[in-house]
Amino acid sequence: MSSFVVAIDGPAGSGKSSTARAVAQALGFSYLDTGALYRAMTWWMLNHGINVDDAEQVTAGASQPVIELSTSPQSVVVVVDGVDVSAAIRQPQVADAVSAVSKVPQVRTRLVDLQRDLISRGAIVVEGRDIGTVVAPNADVKIFLTATPAARAQRRNLDFGHSADEVKATQAALERRDLIDSTRDVSPLVKAEDAVEVDTSDLSLEEVVVAVLAVVDSKRSVKG
């Protein structure tokens, strides 16, 4: 199928990345981690000494970095100004700053344009926070993954190798990010009206992937 878009949205720690990559692999589709683009922009801002809480500084820098992103579900490679930052953008300091950068309109405008260009190239699974509502409102399939804050904190701690004692702090950080992402003026985190919601709190990754693939299969059969 030359053009088919699966949009997977949801808050941090809901399982978007793992689910989207597994679904893309199962379907033989490309995979777009839009969060990696915002992390790349954030990494560039921090690396250039920009105060990410100063919207004017972030706006001034938004057009400068050259960001490249692979769309292979097997390996997400992120390059900024010729430097591979695939690992660097996953560091906690970037995660802590990304919401402040991503809420700046000029950042979102630039990166949404880049996302749409990548999406236009063929069948793809795209994950983020505003895919079904803003980036690809005409996506063939829209999924909204959710989970309790406690479940998301446990997953995020495993991702970062944190101890069990840090779960409460992680949960508080996630809830702060949820508040920022859901109340920002531009492209807030919301569930699209026509999205299928999947609560991943008590599901394994395999169970979530099966649920999403079932939705995709039903839509593909209708599209033919």
The tens place of each residue's pLDDT in the chain, 224 residues long, gives: 578 999 999 988 888 999 999 999 999 999 999 999 999 999 999 999 999 999 999 999 999 999 999 999 999 999 999 999 999 999 989 988 998 999 999 999 999 999 999 999 999 999 999 999 999 999 999 999 999 988 888 877 776 666 666 778 888 888 888 888 888 787 788 999 999 999 999 999 999 999 999 999 998 877 65
Domain containing residue 141? 5-217
The alpha-helical segments, DSSP class H, found in the chain are 16-27, 34-47, 55-61, 92-102, 105-119, 149-160, 167-183, 205-223
Place of tokens 């236009």: 120
Q: What is the chain's Cα-based Rg? A: 17
* Residue 64 within any structural domain of the chain: yes
**Domain tally for the chain?**
1
Domain membership of residue 97 (yes or no) is: yes
The verdict on residue 79 lying in a domain is yes
Q: For residue 217, which amino acid is it?
A: D
Is 178 inside a domain boundary?
A: yes
Q: Confirm if 76 and 70 have CB atoms less than 8 A apart.
A: yes
DSSP string, 153-172: HHHHHHHHT--GGGHHHHHH
Task: Tell me whether residue 223 is in a domain.
Answer: no
Residue 100 located in a structural domain: yes
What is the maximum alpha-carbon separation in the chain?
51
* Any domain includes 173: yes
Question: What CATH number is given to the structural domain containing 77?
Answer: 3.40.50.300
Q: Would you call 127 helix, strand, or coil by DSSP?
A: strand
State if pTM tops 0.85. Answer: yes
The sign of the dihedral angle between the CA atoms of 204, 88, 111, 176 is: positive
Asked if residue 140 belongs to a domain, the reply is: yes
